[in-house]
Amino acid sequence: MILFAGIIMGKIVSLFKLPKVTGYLIAGVVIGPSMLNIIPSIAASKLTIIADAALGFIAYSIGSSFNLEHLKAMGKKVFIITLFESLGAVFIVDIIMIFIFKMPIAFSIVLGSIAAATAPAATLMVIKQYKATGPLVDTLLPIVAMDDAVGIIVFGVSTTIARSLINGTSDLSLANVILNPLLEIFYALILGVLMGTVLSIISRKAEGEDQLLCITVAVLFLNIGICSTIDISPLLSCMMIGAAVINIAPANNRTISIIDKFTPPIFIAFFTIAGIELNLSLLAQVGEIGAAYIISRLIGKIVGASLGSKLANCSKTVQKYLGLTLVPQAGVAIGLAMVAETIIPQYGSSIRTIILSATVVYELIGPLLTKIALKQAGEITIYHKTYHQNI
């Protein structure tokens, strides 16, 4: 039911020239508890292995864009832009919550820290669907991979400060604030490098594409399992596997592209399930605070990306449109909101409701904004010409 609904709605939205990923999300909303309730949320919640697999494959694909030669050519650009677009969203949300809505500082900084995270899945699906290529895509891919790392660090710092403010203590040790989040990221990256090295070696001995596909999927699944067991980020680790493979054996693109034969049904199921879990009734609960978060994060991403691109001397096209491609927010943000619920229970449920509501909006409008930005930047024109010639 999930796959059929996703395929059908993907076809329908394509008639209106909307990204297919938007159709998958809408299909989930239609067959989920928000509308027809054909698939109850409890059934979707038991299919977490699909979400884990999809995010792992997406991170792997993004990591493959981390070719060191390419990154050297870009220089410091990617790092400057990532810091500005991530921290720009954090700063704007913090300012709006503290000074405009007079919310508690602890609440504001934790909510603001989650604003840094961007969901790469929807963005990558739009890029793949329209076969988008160009400077904007080249800049975008490493940024959506890295800003989750920035988000995790900022979240770790913010929750530690928030907890100290709530408890009235001054125990802001360097280990709690900075080292613990950095260690989690470090372990995830080291595991990814090790797994990527193993995959690069084994893949050379693979007999045919079928065996290569099985080996690649097995390594990614093993990596995701280890990450879940020792509680580190599978997203960062799988991303590093892709980066390791593309740098150890840059000529062997088969190991990267082979998973494209395996992932289409997983991606359709992943986004349709995400739609099932989007509870539209939450939109009515969050009120002006939720609306302010949605708008202020959007402004922060657009302004931050524009400033960062300008400082990095990127083209006018990148400066103008990059921010619009960084709107989607889902998995990492929801995960951080759930962690916040346990760290600061006083505000956790409110933060979770706001973030879940925001994902409803971001995941529905994000792919469309990404498509508009890529089209305006002139990076999907080849696809459209080919498409119309085929028709």
And the tokens for 249?
Answer: 């054996």
Domain borders along the chain are 45-390
Task: Please say if the pLDDT value at position 90 is more than 90.
Answer: yes
Sign for the pseudo-dihedral over CA of 64, 65, 68, 70: positive
CB 148 within 8 A of CB 239: no
State mean pLDDT over 196-223: 90
And the tokens for 63?
Answer: 């990591």
Task: Please say if the pLDDT value at position 359 is more than 80.
Answer: no
Burial class (CB in 10 A: 0-12, 13-18, 19+), 252: middle
Place of tokens 């990814």: 192
The pLDDT value recorded for residue 296 is: 94
Task: Please say if the pLDDT value at position 390 is more than 60.
Answer: no
- How far apart (Å, rounded) are the C-alpha atoms in residues 342 and 162? 13
- Overall CATH class of domain 45-390: mainly alpha
- How far apart (Å, rounded) are the C-alpha atoms in residues 23 and 30? 10
Cα dihedral angle (290, 295, 296, 299), rounded to 10 degrees? 160
Percentage of the chain exceeding pLDDT 90: 20
The pLDDT value recorded for residue 387 is: 36
Residue partners of 173: CB distance under 8 A and separation at least 6: none
Residue type, 2: I
- How far apart (Å, rounded) are the C-alpha atoms in residues 313 and 77? 8
Question: In the predicted model, what is the mean pLDDT of the chain?
Answer: 82
Task: Please say if the pLDDT value at position 217 is more than 90.
Answer: yes
The pLDDT value recorded for residue 49 is: 85
- How far apart (Å, rounded) are the C-alpha atoms in residues 172 and 161? 7
Q: State the CB neighbour count (10 A cutoff) for residue 307.
A: 17
Can you tell me whether residue 147 is helix, strand or coil? helix
